[in-house]
Amino acid sequence: MTTRGTLRFTVFGFSTTHQALRAEKVLKDAALPVVPIPAPGSLEALCGIAMRLPPVHAEEARKLLADSGISVVAEGEIDDFGPASGALT
């Protein structure tokens, strides 16, 4: 059994589900460790889907999304479960 610990993640919110799904594709195509999650209430995004990724990849993700014409309407950080080893970073 794998032990999981709480890690810090950057979360991006979008205005539409279409934008969120496009963002997921762009980030996955770039081999970034992105995970779609329900948008946290604190994000106050208009869409119910957010993209979660380790903060070390946030700047690259912002650039990729901007270059693809995808607008991030909300951004924040959350603590969420991940491998205790920190393998996602």
Query: Using 50, 70 and 90 to split pLDDT, how confident is the model at 46?
Result: confident
Higher pLDDT, 6 or 73: 73
CB burial of residue 34 (10 Å; 0-12, 13-18, 19+): buried
Find out whether 54 and 87 touch, Cβ atoms under 8 Å. no
User: Within a 10 A sphere around the Cβ of 62, how many other Cβ atoms?
Assistant: 14
Fold observed for domain 7-81: Alpha-Beta Plaits (3.30.70)
What's residue 3's pLDDT?
54
Report residue 29 as tokens. 């195509």
What's residue 45's pLDDT?
66
Report residue 21 as tokens. 């799904």
Report residue 23 as tokens. 């963002």
Domain residues of the chain, as ranges? 7-81
Q: For 23-36, what is the mean pLDDT?
A: 97
Whether the per-residue pLDDT at 16 is higher than 60: the answer is: yes
